[in-house]
Amino acid sequence: MVVACARTGKKKDEHAEQERGAVAPMVAFMLVLLIGFASFAVDLGMQRVARRDMQALADIVAMDMARRIDGRTAGALQGEMATARDLSVARNSTTTVGDEPVVTYELGVLATDGAFAPVGSGVVPQAVRVTARTSVDFSFQPGEGAAARTAVAMAESKACFSIGSYAATIKSDDSPLLKPLLGLLGTKLNLSLIDARGLANVDIPLLGFIHAGLGVGTLDELVALRGVKLGDFYLAMADVLRREAGNTAQVILLQALAARVPGLNLNLADILALGTGGSAGLDGMVNVLDLVTTGLFAANGTNGVSIPDLKIGVPGLAELTGSVKIIQKPNIGCGRARPSAAQPNQVAHSNQIEVRLGGKGVDLNIGIAHLAASVKVLIELAPADAVLKDITCRPGHDTIVVAVGDSLLTLTITLDVLVSALADLIKIAEGGIDLRASRYGPLKDLTIDVFNENYTVPGASGGGNIGLPELSVDAKRLKLLGLPVGEGLNYILNPLLKHLVNPLLQGLDRYLLSPLLGFLGIQISGAEIYALPKPKCGQPALRG
Q: How many CB atoms lie within 10 A of CB 420?
A: 18
Cα distance between the two ends of the chain? 87
Q: How many CB atoms lie within 10 A of CB 449?
A: 13
Q: Residue 313's pLDDT band (boundaries 50, 70, 90)?
A: low
For residue 289, CA distances in Å to 225, 298, 352 come to 20, 14, 15
Distance from C-alpha of 396 to C-alpha of 4, rounded to nearest angstrom: 112
More confident residue, 84 or 207: 84
Q: Residue 103's pLDDT band (boundaries 50, 70, 90)?
A: very high
How high is the pLDDT of residue 96? 79
How high is the pLDDT of residue 426? 81
Residue among 384, 361, 360 at smallest CA distance from 523: 384
How high is the pLDDT of residue 282? 45
Computed over every residue of the chain, the mean pLDDT equals: 75
Q: Residue 128's pLDDT band (boundaries 50, 70, 90)?
A: very high
pTM of the model: 0.57
Does residue 11 carry a pLDDT above 90? Answer: no
Residue among 407, 361, 365 at smallest CA distance from 384: 407
Residues 6+ apart with CB under 8 A from 523: 168, 169, 171, 174, 462, 517
Residue among 462, 349, 382 at smallest CA distance from 165: 382
| DSSP at 338 | S
Strand partners, 338: none
For the ranges 21-25, 338-342, 509-513, the maximum mean pLDDT occurs at 509-513
Residue among 321, 418, 432 at smallest CA distance from 364: 418
Distance from C-alpha of 458 to C-alpha of 532, rounded to nearest angstrom: 10
Residues 6+ apart with CB under 8 A from 258: 230, 231, 232, 234, 235, 238
The pLDDT > 90 percentage for the chain reads: 7
Contact 542, 153 (CB under 8 A): yes
For residue 129, CA distances in Å to 75, 101, 106 come to 16, 16, 5
Distance from C-alpha of 372 to C-alpha of 476, rounded to nearest angstrom: 19
How high is the pLDDT of residue 181? 55
Residue among 305, 309, 310, 311 at smallest CA distance from 325: 305
Q: What is the tens place of the pLDDT at every residue in 445-501?
A: 889 988 887 887 888 776 556 667 788 889 888 888 888 888 888 888 888 888 888
Report the amino acid identity of residue 486: G
Distance from C-alpha of 467 to C-alpha of 291, rounded to nearest angstrom: 31
Q: Residue 87's pLDDT band (boundaries 50, 70, 90)?
A: very high
Report the amino acid identity of residue 101: P
Distance from C-alpha of 289 to C-alpha of 269, rounded to nearest angstrom: 17
| 3-class secondary structure per residue, 142-211 | CCEEEEEEEEEEEEEEEEEEEEEEEEEEEEHHHCCCHHHHHHHCCCCCEEEECCHHHHCCCEEEHHHHHH
Distance from C-alpha of 224 to C-alpha of 221, rounded to nearest angstrom: 5
What is the number of residues in the chain?
544
For the ranges 92-101, 159-168, 200-209, 217-226, the maximum mean pLDDT occurs at 92-101
Q: What is the tens place of the pLDDT at every residue in 177-224?
A: 556 655 555 554 444 444 545 565 566 777 777 777 777 777 677 777
Phi, psi of 426 (to 5 degrees): -110, 115
Q: Maximum Cα–Cα distance for the chain, whole Å?
A: 152
How high is the pLDDT of residue 141? 66
More confident residue, 48 or 537: 48
Q: What is the tens place of the pLDDT at every residue in 231-288?
A: 888 888 888 888 776 667 677 777 877 776 666 677 776 666 443 333 334 445 566 6
Helices (H), 67-125: 74-92
Does residue 106 carry a pLDDT above 90? Answer: yes
